[in-house]
Amino acid sequence: MRKPLSLTERIHRRIRARGKGNIIVTRDFLNLGSRAAVDQALSRLTKQGTIRRVGRGVYDYPRENETLGITLSPAPEAVANAIATRGASRLQIAGAQAANALGLSTQVPARIVYLTDGTPRTIKMGNQTLVFRHASPRTMATAGRLSGTVIQALRHLGKKHVDDEVIQQLRRSLSTGEKKILKNDRLYAPGWMQPLLDQIAAPGAE
């Protein structure tokens, strides 16, 4: 009779089935054993070099660049989405990352801020830091929509720096449908920003 697989072996098998580059969180395996037992199994796999610890309860099954012979870092957005999905929470990029996503800034931030209705936490990944900051229901009302990214990007730039060039750039980049959603979501933005959103959402050239 074949010896039953240990918890570590069962977890390892499931991780391999998902493929390289996958983000792993502890709760993925709680149907296989207790939290303590799963934590121990993941710790063993980490010590073996099979997986890599990214943050508390978060790991990745690292990919390698065979040409350069280096292990690649996990994509920040993949880590953030895995945490949000498993935690049944929503995310909204904010700060410099939101401005960068809209082409309003070329800055690649070392500190990536996500607003969330889940648990606040900070994860350090090499030279980058992911910050999950708890936000109010009003702020999270536009989470996951482009309107939310626009609001957070303009908040990052600040009232004094949202000039006609920024407004026209957003008018050109947003589709008619996105402008309609932005106009509907203007009430979730700070008062100073609402007239600016009206200008961006006004019918016209795209």
pLDDT attached to residue 1? 63
Query: Under DSSP, is residue 139 helix (H, G, I), strand (E, B) or coil?
Result: helix
**Domain segments of the chain as ranges:** 7-71, 76-201
Q: Cα–Cα distance between 115 and 143 in angstroms, integer?
A: 8
Among the residue ranges 29-38, 59-68, 127-136, 145-154, the one predicted with the least confidence is: 59-68
**Beta carbons within 8 Å of 111's beta carbon, 6+ residues apart:** 95, 96, 128, 129, 131
Q: Which two tokens stand for residue 74?
A: 């996990």
The answer to whether the beta carbons of residues 77 and 132 sit under 8 Å apart is no
pLDDT at 62 over 80: yes
Phi and psi (nearest 5°) for 128?
A: -120, 150
pLDDT attached to residue 106? 84
Q: What number is the average pLDDT over the span 173-184?
A: 94
Q: Cα–Cα distance between 77 and 71 in angstroms, integer?
A: 18
DSSP conformation class of 65:
E
The rounded Cα 66 to chain-centroid distance in angstroms is 27
Q: What number is the average pLDDT over the span 55-60?
A: 89
The reply to whether CATH 1.10.10 applies to domain 7-71 is yes
Q: pLDDT tens for residues 67-118?
A: 777 888 888 889 999 888 887 899 999 999 999 999 998 888 889 999 999 9
**Beta carbons within 8 Å of 59's beta carbon, 6+ residues apart:** 23, 24, 25, 42, 45, 46, 51, 52, 53
